[in-house]
């Protein structure tokens, strides 16, 4: 069994669960592309550690239409989520012309905030997982999501008890040393740390392979050597 460490905040009480729907955890990600590059570590670990009768997990994504592959990528995302224990009924895809899948385009944070907040409230989500200010790869869409969640959090617009975890971006050297980054990740300050076993990592790779339309050579290298396929360190906003 791998390792999961989650450090609870020192203050604040979670909101009581809705009687009609248990509290949930929701990754909020951009285009239906390589979110599987890091999400398996968090999704797979929560599947192993969280009783399904008490918690729901769902995923929200912006419909990526880069290279006019929007519908293909949507199906690939649903297949990937299914392998990670998230049924298609719990996957929300947003298709909006002002939120294009483009690494050079910054999204309208007010528009994005409306979609994100609606999804959080509709699904009774009390933990949101997304990117940090570096966006892992510097992708403008990733950074827009962080900016949106940070704004909602700082302005007190999130539901009471809803927390936000952001995935830490690391330098290029650490990014590609795979499991060798474990000692340093354990020593550095963080609020949550996910480390997968070899079996769990292979499950994450199987989920990644569902994104067949995007498996270019450099992403195959990523699957083999990136620490994000094995280790996710996160911080609370």
Q: Can you give the pLDDT at residue 90?
A: 84
Q: Which two tokens stand for residue 90?
A: 């719990």
Check residue 178 and give its pLDDT: 95
Exposed, middle or buried by CB within 10 Å (0-12, 13-18, 19+), for 30?
buried
Structure tokens at 139: 């992708």
**Closest by alpha carbon to 141, among 179, 189, 105, 191?**
105
User: What pLDDT shows up at residue 215?
Assistant: 87
Residue pair 62/94 in contact by the 8 Å Cβ criterion:
yes
- Looking at residue 144, its pLDDT comes to 92
CB of 235 within 8 A of CB of 168? yes
pTM to 2 decimal places:
0.77
What pLDDT score was predicted for residue 20? 44
Joined tokens for residue 14: 């979670």
Domains of the chain, earliest start first = 23-236 (3.40.50.10320)
* Per-residue confidence in pLDDT tens, the chain, 237 aa: 344 444 433 344 434 344 444 556 666 555 433 344 445 555 555 444 433 333 456 665 554 555 566 688 888 888 988 888 888 888 888 888 888 888 888 899 999 999 999 989 988 889 999 999 999 989 898 899 999 999 999 999 999 999 999 999 999 999 999 999 999 999 999 999 999 999 999 998 998 899 888 888 998 999 999 999 999 999 999
Per-residue pLDDT at 103:
82
């Amino acid at each position: 069994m791998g390792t999961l460490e989650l450090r609870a905040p020192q203050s604040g009480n979670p909101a009581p669960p809705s009687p009609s729907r248990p509290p949930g955890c929701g990754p909020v990600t951009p285009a239906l592309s390589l979110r599987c590059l890091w999400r398996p570590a968090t999704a797979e670990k929560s599947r192993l550690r969280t009783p399904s009768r008490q918690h729901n997990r769902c995923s929200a994504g912006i419909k990526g239409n880069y290279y006019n592959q929007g519908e293909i990528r949507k199906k690939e995302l649903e297949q990937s989520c299914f392998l990670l224990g998230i049924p298609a009924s719990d996957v929300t895809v947003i298709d909006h012309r002002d939120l294009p899948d483009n690494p050079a385009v910054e999204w309208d944070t007010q528009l994005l905030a409306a979609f994100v907040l609606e999804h959080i409230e509709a699904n009774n989500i009390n933990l949101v997982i997304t990117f940090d200010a570096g966006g892992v790869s510097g992708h403008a869409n990733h950074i827009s999501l962080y900016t949106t969640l940070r704004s909602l959090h700082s302005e007190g617009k999130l539901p009471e008890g809803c927390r936000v975890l952001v995935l830490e971006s690391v330098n290029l050297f650490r990014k590609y040393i795979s499991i060798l980054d474990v000692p340093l990740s354990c020593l550095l300050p963080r609020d949550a740390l996910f480390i997968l076993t070899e079996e769990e990592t292979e499950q994450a790779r199987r989920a990644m392979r569902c994104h067949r339309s995007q498996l270019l050579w450099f992403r195959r290298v990523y699957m083999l050597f990136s620490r994000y396929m094995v280790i996710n360190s996160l911080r609370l906003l």
